[in-house]
Chain A
């Protein structure tokens, strides 16, 4: 019986792509002021993987690079649009040292430099009083 490594290749590319994307999108959006630069870099890198995927005759390499290409195109969208929106809503912590984030903090009432998700589940929902208390204690 011959083993098929295409699935392993797809699994590794998917997991590493999501993991690296998850970590680097948040880090890059937090630090960079002009987001079109890293977004363009993600598109360029993704295009490189896409070309590699189209040109190689090795199916496992084609699979991994195809997945990484599409993931990087999605990352460009995350960097330029989706992550800044999370910052505006307060779903992700803003970085006051970043002038772009400082402006969001000044203009968006829900934006905060506190990480709401930095806590363990406790098994019951928070009341609005508790949420206000958490927000006040972070100030």
Chain B
């Protein structure tokens, strides 16, 4: 019997739970226009996980990467939630590099 998958599953639940926190905080202080950078960081994590021989580290980095990619698609909706008053709104956000270009792209949302 191997309990590795179960423990990774429980750990992943916390990684996803952390996603709720960083999406809310990240949108508040930085804004949803950071989404391509977050998505890219997630992809880098997943790719790097392939080169890590320790199974626990590889699995956690892969799960964290996937969670970053998912969270990047949640930022736009979170921005609307803050504007609607469901979450505190901060009007002094730190724009990402090339914000004017990213603004013209359609932010992904599921």
Contact = CB atoms under 8 A, between A and B. Distances in A.
A91 B84 CA distance: 10
B61 A7 contact: yes
B54 to A, nearest CB: 8
Interface residues of B, number: 47
A69 interface: yes
A8 B50 contact: yes
Given A11-B49, A53-B9, A125-B83, A6 B2 contact: no
B41 interface: no
A121 B63 contact: no
Nearest to B46: A11
Contacts of A56: 2, 5
A122 interface: yes
Nearest to A68: B9
A28 B12 CA distance: 24
B59 A10 contact: yes
26 contacts: A4-B49, A4-B51, A7-B52, A8-B50, A9-B59, A11-B62, A11-B63, A14-B12, A22-B110, A50-B9, A54-B1, A54-B2, A56-B5, A62-B8, A66-B6, A67-B8, A67-B9, A68-B9, A71-B16, A116-B84, A120-B80, A122-B83, A123-B83, A125-B82, A125-B89, A125-B91
Interface of B: 1-10, 12-13, 15-16, 32, 46, 48-53, 55, 58-63, 65-67, 69-70, 76-77, 79-86, 89, 91, 110
Interface of A: 1-15, 18-19, 22-23, 50, 53-57, 59, 61-71, 74, 91, 116-117, 119-126, 131
